[in-house]
């Protein structure tokens, strides 16, 4: 049986979308798996005036589709309390402390506290300093602060934000979420890379031709136009999810599976990225913005979306050729691509191996070996190999070995909350990683401005502007997923 964890969760933004769609269902799953049992309680806080019964009703409602029985959904919801709270109001923290101490005693929580900031990052500094000043941080148990993206908008700004938080919590206590790190297939990447001599020996420039990372969304900006105008695809997707994947792909084998050892090699991998500047940006990065679709007249141009500036030059698509200066990877392009209104929703990594043509197997008959890691929405692996076609002639055809994990893999937030409860920081973003990734992103943005780089329009429901394909074609490569 799973070990029962004791903790009080204080969720700031308890009435929000993230809490309802992700956090409550994740907590319920941990409860059903006995990681949370009788010794947990949750305080939801937000500006609205809700009562405890109403809040418990909301929590109960959020787990309708996954609940095992009405009875246990109600028992689970009974662990939740609500406090109306303005993040700037000291008095509110004083009543929060009183409630927290009461629940600590009632549920025997041993002073363990998880503060979950599911609110705008502009509140992170204020909330954390109040938590310290009003003594919500306990002496006897653990105190962990979970924060959501976006963590700043450039290096300077995220550094200020970080220093604000560090006045009240140590780096050890801060758990920065990048929910991609909770995905089953991202975790499987480590097992694949370092658990198999087959891949371990060939994961380098001698055998790998190129690597491709695609994070495609088929939706537009929907109701998030105002947010997106401030972020664009580069900050929204590349700074975090894409660069996290890049660091896992490029990193050396860690000395151990301890989170510090893994972080060390990830940070080194990010430091080794070839710097982008105004002289190389236009050969290496392409930015685009979606326009309407010829086939579907209901789809709007990005600039006609709700809360988007009609003259906006914000990018909804980025493709790039990333290179590493590391000895193992010199000359191996790692192509990335992410955007909205692409052909389909798909997150996929393709490792394309070099073709080993011989006179026995001429190049034109042999396809590249490709290892594809399907991260979502369908999860799995496939390996493209060359095989002999069944029959009398000696003809070669590509075949695909495939693997699909079982459907009940833990979901991102369930896994990440459990990791925070157990104090395992492997799947959270350390400041050192964040700092390196912002520096890289800032160099791209600066180069785009200095080189006056074009913004290419692309038709909705396509895989971006043709210039994104040319990035690969110029190297005699092509997108595996298209
Ligand atoms: P939301 O707008 O639905 O909820 C925001 C919450 O903050 C509400 O509960 C609101 O009452 C509370 N709030 C706002 N001002 C407050 C104040 N002055 N005092 C106290 N509470 C206040 O937002 P969300 O979608 O739940 O997102 C929360 C955070 O998570 C944001 O930082 C967002 O960027 C991040 N995030 C959300 C998602 C998602 O899927 N929703 C995904 C990744 C990251």
Q: Note the pLDDT tens digit of each residue in 79-107.
A: 999 999 999 999 999 999 999 999 999 99
pLDDT at site 2: 60
Q: How confident is the model at residue 289 (pLDDT cuts 50, 70, 90)?
A: very high
pLDDT at site 363: 66
- Residue ranges for the binding site for substrate? 179, 183, 217, 236, 340, 345
**Looking at residues 310-318, what average pLDDT do you find?**
98
Q: Which atom of ligand 1 approaches the CA of 48 most closely?
A: 11
Superfamily covering domain 7-148: NAD(P)-binding Rossmann-like Domain (3.40.50.720)
Give the lowest-confidence range in 8-12, 25-29, 147-151: 147-151
Alpha carbon 294 to chain centroid, angstroms: 32
| 23 CA → ligand 1 middle, Å | 12
The closest residue, in CA terms, to atom 15 on ligand 1 is 47
pLDDT at 154 over 90: yes
| Ligand 1 pocket check for 213: Cβ under 6 Å | no
> How far is 98 from 112, CA to CA, in rounded Å?
15
In the chain, the percentage of residues whose pLDDT exceeds 90 is: 90
Task: Tell me the whole-structure pTM to 2 decimals.
Answer: 0.95
| Ligand 1 pocket check for 230: Cβ under 6 Å | no
The closest residue, in CA terms, to atom 6 on ligand 1 is 13
The residues, any chain, with a CB within 8 Å of residue 105's CB and separated by 6 or more, are: none
The closest residue, in CA terms, to atom 39 on ligand 1 is 18
| Ligand 1 pocket check for 121: Cβ under 6 Å | yes
Q: Are 441 and 239 in contact (CB under 8 A)?
A: yes
| 148 CA → ligand 1 middle, Å | 9
Reply yes or no: is the peptide bond before residue 79 cis, omega within 30 of 0. no
Angle at the Cα of 12 from the Cα atoms of 8 and 17, rounded to 5 degrees: 115
| Ligand 1 pocket check for 152: Cβ under 6 Å | no
- Please say if 241 is a catalytic residue: yes
Cα separation of the two ends of the chain: 45
In the chain, the percentage of residues whose pLDDT exceeds 70 is: 99
Q: Are 275 and 436 in contact (CB under 8 A)?
A: no
pLDDT at site 295: 87
Say whether domain 181-409+429-473 belongs to CATH 3.30.360.10: yes
Query: Which residue from 14, 236, 25 is spatially nearest to 118, judged by alpha carbons?
Result: 14
Q: Which atom of ligand 1 approaches the CA of 14 most closely?
A: 9
Q: Note the pLDDT tens digit of each residue in 239-269.
A: 999 999 999 999 999 999 899 999 999 999 9
pLDDT at 12 over 70: yes
Q: Note the pLDDT tens digit of each residue in 321-347.
A: 999 999 999 999 999 999 999 999 999
pLDDT at 1 over 60: no
Query: Which residue from 203, 122, 135 is spatially nearest to 168, judged by alpha carbons?
Result: 135
- Residue ranges for the binding site for NADP(+)? 47, 149
Q: Which of 241, 326, 374, 430 is catalytic?
A: 241
Domain boundaries, the chain: 7-148, 181-409+429-473
> How far is 275 from 368, CA to CA, in rounded Å?
29
**Looking at residues 437-459, what average pLDDT do you find?**
97
pLDDT at site 408: 74
Q: Note the pLDDT tens digit of each residue in 161-172.
A: 999 999 999 999
Residue 163 to residues 80, 125, 173, 227, Cα–Cα distance (Å): 32, 9, 14, 24
pLDDT at 436 over 60: yes
Q: Where are the alpha helices (DSSP H) in 207-336?
A: 225-233, 243-250, 259-271, 281-284
**Looking at residues 347-375, what average pLDDT do you find?**
87
The residues, any chain, with a CB within 8 Å of residue 336's CB and separated by 6 or more, are: 212, 213, 214, 238, 242, 246, 318, 319, 320, 322
| Ligand 1 pocket check for 17: Cβ under 6 Å | yes
């Amino acid at each position: 049986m799973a070990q029962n964890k004791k903790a009080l969760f204080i969720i700031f933004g308890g009435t929000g979308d993230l809490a309802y769609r992700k956090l409550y269902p994740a907590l319920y799953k941990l409860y059903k798996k006995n990681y949370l049992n009788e010794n947990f309680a949750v305080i939801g806080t937000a500006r609205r005036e809700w009562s405890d019964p109403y809040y418990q009703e909301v929590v109960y409602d959020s787990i309708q589709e996954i609940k095992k029985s009405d009875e246990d959904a109600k028992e689970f919801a009974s662990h939740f309390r609500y406090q109306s709270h303005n993040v700037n109001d000291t008095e509110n923290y004083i009543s929060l402390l009183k409630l927290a101490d009461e629940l600590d005693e009632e549920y025997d929580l041993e002073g363990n506290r998880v503060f979950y900031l599911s609110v705008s990052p502009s509140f992170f500094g204020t909330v954390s300093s109040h938590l310290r000043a009003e003594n919500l941080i306990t002496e006897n148990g653990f105190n962990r602060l979970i924060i959501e993206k976006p963590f700043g908008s450039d290096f300077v700004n995220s550094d200020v934000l970080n220093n604000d938080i560090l006045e009240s919590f140590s780096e050890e206590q801060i758990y920065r979420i990048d929910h991609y790190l909770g995905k089953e297939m991202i975790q499987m990447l480590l097992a694949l890379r370092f658990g198999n001599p087959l891949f371990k020996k060939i994961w380098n420039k001698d055998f790998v031709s190129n690597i491709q990372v695609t994070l495609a969304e088929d939706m537009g900006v929907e109701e998030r136009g105002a947010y997106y105008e401030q972020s664009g695809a580069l900050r929204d997707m590349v700074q975090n999810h894409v660069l996290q994947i890049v660091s896992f792909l490029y990193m050396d084998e860690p000395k151990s599976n301890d989170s510090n050892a893994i972080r060390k090699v990830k940070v080194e991998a990010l430091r080794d990225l070839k710097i982008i500047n105004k002289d190389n940006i236009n050969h290496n990065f392409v930015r685009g913005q979606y326009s309407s679709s010829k086939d579907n007249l209901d789809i709007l141009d990005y600039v006609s979306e709700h809360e988007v500036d009609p003259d906006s030059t914000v990018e909804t698509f980025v493709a790039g050729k990333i290179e590493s200066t590391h000895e193992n990877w010199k000359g191996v392009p790692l192509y990335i691509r992410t955007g909205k209104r692409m052909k389909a929703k798909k997150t996929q990594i393709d490792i394309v191996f070099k073709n080993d043509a011989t006179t026995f197997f001429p190049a034109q008959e042999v396809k590249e070996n490709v290892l594809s890691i399907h991260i979502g929405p369908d999860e799995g692996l496939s390996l493209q190999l060359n095989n002999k076609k069944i029959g009398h002639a000696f003809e070669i055809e590509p075949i695909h070995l495939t693997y699909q994990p079982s459907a009940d893999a833990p979901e991102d937030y369930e896994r990440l909350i459990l990791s925070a409860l157990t104090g395992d920081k492997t799947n959270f973003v350390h400041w050192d990683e964040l700092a390196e990734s912002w520096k890289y992103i800032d160099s791209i943005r600066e180069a785009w401005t200095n080189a006056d780089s074009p913004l290419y329009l692309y038709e909705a429901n396509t895989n971006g502007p043709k210039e994104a394909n040319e990035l690969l074609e110029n190297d005699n490569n092509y997108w595996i997923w298209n």
